[in-house]
Structure 1
């Protein structure tokens, strides 16, 4: 049984006994290469576009995902991609996932996350709208949320009911998932049917994370890199507005949420806090802890056994939320 840092909630590990060789290899490689590189790299606004360009360029070398069809949509300042199961007859008005990619608020985009987006489309049988929101240094974190809200408004304006839209995202995209839903609510828009956070960043203040045992255990993310990103993308005159963190906002009225995190990742604490505060606000929330995985494992390698299982849970949650909206409408 995995306990939170303050022992307020006990959450069972989803896979207590079986960690695949693929996951073990990914963890070992991450610990030996990616985390040390992140600790050594000096992250600056000038370096961000260079690193992002390299990552996106490498992603384009991969074969395109099979079993899906893609359509690009351009909005003001950013683009989106609608990924549908090949031959699917359902339209977005029947149900859609709006996916926001991760990447530390400055990395990645449509190309890097197309495999996980395609996997969700195939498993749900629904279109997935992947949003390539602007990132640092082109805009700050709040500006990224604005783009995601624009994407949501685009869906609403094209006749998709909010009750048939589920937000989903990994890492920084998990932040966008919750922050966009909160921004929509505060703007007087209807909230989506559900929220899926895959190893989400939900608290920009790193104090709790530095005190958590996973500060030393995480094999992928150096917390110093996240702190630098927050300074560049969220702080004003050295001050961080607590309301920029989704965990610090009033959560009553938010839709049901699914949170999936790795047992030893440093962002686990964010999901623990969010799960507690959603419960206190009377919002249904499920928190899954996965053993032996790295941060955002399901987005990095969607075909790993654990990734396939986690994404199956995501698909089940998405279908349940859309179906419940349809039942409520006909009742």
Structure 2
């Protein structure tokens, strides 16, 4: 019995995969997955230029979206508002802090602007989209530091901590939980909530190696995940990181805000999502774990042509708006752990 499945977080399962989603999965399995597998076999570290973010400048955003550059202390960011969304100057006291994915190695503001604009629209909140520093230029600890600086920027604009939702996908999900923990440890207050899309939350590959999805993921071969762990540790050593990072699954969780986690049913990162959701619930923290049938890693980014992605983004918007409503009424959800067998229908989603 896998230790991360001994407590059921009662995931919500979204059944069905459209023709578009199946074609996307097939395409990734025969393009991205073998490339990442080859990268993992290299006897040395290779860090190609982040060309994908430059090319992504050409991609359109959600209609009516406006954004402007924000220069944080050590990294670029942008303040984004979807059509009809006001900021604090227009009476909207709520905001989202967003961290893009890319395994701490690639992607950026351009690749994720479309996804962020749709989340802004669905949640009816402006978003600070953070272009945090990445490996090999800086270790992950500095990425977290950039996230804390971004949260500080929102506080300086007048947003209260309890009105800020922290969100991110993949590596950005790691940052979402890590930054939430860091700002609370700073004594700045508890954020409204955390949203993590296909999050990487545990750099220890053991849980993923023993998981049912170890070799089912259409995007990441297991050896690529293990390689990323090795690379991150070498970066910590190269940059003389003194205090070892604590992965989100191993952080103190009892005072964390409510969370939503999205994961595809066959993703290798399902192990991380289940472990985090179960530990949050065990700690008495409300967590909505949504499992999406046969959807690929961060499928939400394909909302322009994937119906499941649009539904998922609406779910995120509903969750974030719910946090706002609960804050207004002074009620905060608390989870009650429910012991359940690993073989239970709600605990194992295939």
Confirm or deny a common fold (TM above 0.5): yes
2:275 matched to 1:269?
A: no
Alignment partner, residue 38 of structure 1: 36
CA contact (8 A) 1:205 1:240 kept: no
Of residues 230-239 and 115-124 in structure 1, the stretch that sits farther from structure 2 once superposed is 230-239
Question: What TM-score comes out, normalization by structure 2 length?
Answer: 0.86
CA contact (8 A) 1:82 1:128 kept: yes
Q: Distance in 2 between matches of 1:197 and 1:302?
A: 20
CA contact (8 A) 1:165 1:322 kept: no
Paired residue secondary structure (1:129):
strand
Q: 1:315 to 1:87 in 2, by over 3 A?
A: closer
Superimposed CA distance per residue, residues 229-287 of structure 1 (whole angstroms, 9 cap, x where no aligned partner):
22222455699987521101110110000011000000011111111111111111111
CA contact (8 A) 2:198 2:263 kept: yes
Q: CA shift at 1:77, angstroms?
A: 1.9
Alignment partner, residue 210 of structure 1: 209
Q: CA shift at 1:29, angstroms?
A: 0.4
CA contact (8 A) 2:173 2:201 kept: yes
Q: 1:4 to 1:260 in 2, by over 3 A?
A: farther
CA contact (8 A) 1:101 1:169 kept: yes
Superimposed CA distance per residue, residues 207-227 of structure 1 (whole angstroms, 9 cap, x where no aligned partner):
110111211100101232232
Q: Distance in 2 between matches of 1:143 and 1:246?
A: 16
**Which of 305, 308, 311 is matched with 1:306 structurally?**
308
Q: Distance in 2 between matches of 1:208 and 1:216?
A: 13
Matches within 5 A, 1:176-195: 176-195=175-194
- Unaligned runs of 5+ residues in structure 1 are none
Alignment partner, residue 56 of structure 2: 59
2:83 matched to 1:86?
A: yes
Alignment partner, residue 197 of structure 2: 198
Residue-pair matches, total: 324
CA contact (8 A) 2:86 2:125 kept: no
Q: 1:134 to 1:12 in 2, by over 3 A?
A: closer
Superimposed CA distance per residue, residues 133-161 of structure 1 (whole angstroms, 9 cap, x where no aligned partner):
00001110111000001000111121100
Q: Distance in 1 between matches of 2:284 and 2:60?
A: 44
Q: Distance in 1 between matches of 2:323 and 2:275?
A: 23
Paired residue secondary structure (1:288):
strand
Alignment partner, residue 325 of structure 1: 327
Structure with a larger share of its residues in helix: 1
2:157 matched to 1:164?
A: no
**Which of 278, 288, 293 is matched with 2:290 structurally?**
288
Q: 1:207 to 1:296 in 2, by over 3 A?
A: same
Q: Which has the higher contact order (CA 8 A, sep 6+)?
A: 2
Alignment partner, residue 101 of structure 1: 100
Q: 1:160 to 1:303 in 2, by over 3 A?
A: farther
- Unaligned runs of 5+ residues in structure 2 are 332-350
Of residues 235-244 and 124-133 in structure 1, the stretch that sits farther from structure 2 once superposed is 235-244
**Which of 250, 256, 259 is matched with 1:257 structurally?**
259
Q: Distance in 2 between matches of 1:8 and 1:193?
A: 25
Q: Distance in 2 between matches of 1:12 and 1:270?
A: 14
Q: CA shift at 1:174, angstroms?
A: 0.3
**Which of 4, 23, 26 is matched with 1:25 structurally?**
23
Paired residue secondary structure (2:58):
coil
Paired residue secondary structure (1:215):
coil
Superimposed CA distance per residue, residues 275-316 of structure 1 (whole angstroms, 9 cap, x where no aligned partner):
111111111111111111111111244541111111111000
Alignment partner, residue 129 of structure 1: 128
Q: 1:69 to 1:240 in 2, by over 3 A?
A: same
